[in-house]
A and B are shown apart, each in its own frame.
Chain A
């Protein structure tokens, strides 16, 4: 399949703009969990970008690790950390 030149340019520009927007959102969002989701969406667009730049190997690796495993790891860590936070607060409340 041959993608014509203008369509290619438009797709590349859209992907790069979305990458920048999602990156800024991931940095600026107040809740950590939504930051993680924005990061996952950003790596989804990075996959698109790698496919457009004819690097399918990198695209597959990014899809599996960037938007799959790393997101899962961040979410588990967040769940674990909030649980510990609650426990610590309760203990501090008990001593006071």
Chain B
């Protein structure tokens, strides 16, 4: 019975997804050349009121100057929502550290660490950290951004925890970084309120589309989000890999 109900649910859901994506004459149907249109839109998006197409590395002083539309939405048009998301993640990490408050000793696995894991982790951890930092610094140019970049930093910390038996990250500095990043994010919003008209407005000059220093406050906000998410995920991983001190 349970299986029949689940199969029925999957069939109904699949039917709706199929009709919304692939059947014409439906309200949600995407345009016909959707396989090429979305990635082209990343580069030639139109943000000026005259609806001219944007040339990568040439157009200047556009609406917010971000080459990546997703980033433009996440950290400029809907930046207040992103502030809410970051708050949700912060509350989750607070909840984890409240539940696991007394756990201070590092969890020791029964199996011994493999030499392949140890050597491989030493090679990969630095690269993964650099990749995470790259991802949130270039969030306004390429896919990725603060949330995946911070998660990659958290994953590299996890790799260190698994490979080195006595490794503990210094959680106090992570907590400092997290609260600093959150405070600066809100401060940037308040500066936008006073310099320009509304909270979290993009008040810096936007520059050339595609340059590293462009898009006003978008890269600054995404770097802050990346640092905040990275330290929160690392904190959660640290809490999960500790156990209670046997008294």
Residues of A within 8 A of B (CB): 8, 54-57, 59-61, 64-65, 68-69, 72-73, 76, 79
Question: B205: CB under 8 A from chain A?
Answer: no
Is there a chain A Cβ closer than 8 Å to B216's Cβ?
A: no
The answer to whether the Cβ of B83 comes within 8 Å of any Cβ in the partner chain is no
Given the known interface contacts A76-B240, A76-B241, A79-B109, the answer about A57 and B155 at a Cβ–Cβ threshold of 8 Å is no
- Which residues of B lie under 8 Å from residue A76 when comparing CB positions? 240-241
Query: Does B70 reach chain A (CB closer than 8 Å)?
Result: yes
Q: Are A68 and B155 in contact (CB under 8 A)?
A: yes
B158 pairs with A72, CB closer than 8 A: yes
From B39, B144, B233, name the one whose CB has the most chain A CB atoms within 10 angstroms: B144
Q: Which secondary structure characterizes the binding site on chain B? A: helix
The tally of CB-CB contacts under 8 A between chains A and B is 41
Measured between alpha carbons, how far is A54 from B38 in the docked complex, in Å?
7
Q: Are the C-beta atoms of A69 and B109 separated by less than 8 Å? A: no
Tell me if B215 is interfacial: C-beta within 8 Å of chain A: no
> Chain A residues near B38 (CB, 8 Å)?
54-55
> Can you sample 27 A-B contacts with CB below 8 Å?
A54-B38, A54-B39, A55-B38, A56-B143, A56-B144, A57-B68, A57-B144, A57-B145, A57-B148, A59-B143, A60-B148, A61-B147, A61-B148, A61-B151, A64-B148, A64-B151, A65-B148, A65-B151, A68-B151, A69-B151, A69-B155, A69-B158, A69-B233, A69-B237, A72-B155, A72-B158, A76-B240
| A-contacting residues, B106-120, CB 8 Å | 109
Given the complex of chains A and B, what is the CA–CA distance between A56 and B144 in angstroms? Answer: 7
B135 sits at the interface (CB 8 A)? yes
Q: Which residues of A contact B49 (CB under 8 A)?
A: none
Does any Cβ of A come within 8 Å of B35's Cβ?
Answer: yes
Report the Cα distance A64→B152, complex, angstroms.
Answer: 6
Q: Across the interface, which residues of B come within 8 angstroms of A61, CB to CB?
A: 147-148, 151
B154 close to chain A: CB less than 8 A: yes
Say yes or no: B155 contacts A64, CB within 8 Å.
yes
With A65-B151, A69-B155, A69-B158: A60-B143 Cβ-Cβ less than 8 Å = yes
Q: Bound state CA distance, A56 and B41, in angstroms?
A: 13
Q: Is there an interface contact between B35 and A8, defined as CB atoms closer than 8 Å?
A: yes
CA distance A56 to B152 in the complex (A): 15
Q: Looking at the assembled complex, report how far the CB atom of B102 sits from the nearest CB atom of chain A, in whole angstroms.
A: 15
Instruction: Beyond the given A61-B148, A68-B151, please list 19 additional residue pairs across the A-B interface where CB-CB is below 8 A.
Output: A8-B35, A54-B38, A56-B144, A57-B70, A57-B143, A57-B145, A59-B143, A60-B135, A61-B151, A64-B151, A64-B152, A65-B148, A68-B155, A69-B151, A69-B155, A69-B158, A69-B237, A72-B158, A76-B240
Among residues 207 to 247 in chain B, which have CB atoms less than 8 Å away from a CB atom of chain A? 233, 237, 240-241
The docked-state distance in angstroms from the alpha carbon of A55 to that of B154 is: 23
Q: Do A73 and B240 contact each other (CB < 8 Å), given the known contacts A56-B143, A57-B144, A61-B148?
A: yes
Instruction: Tell me the minimal C-beta distance from B40 to chain A in angstroms.
Output: 10
CA distance A57 to B145 in the complex (A): 8
What are the interface flags for B187-219 relative to A under an 8 Å C-beta threshold, 1 for contact and 0 otherwise? 000000000000000000000000000000000
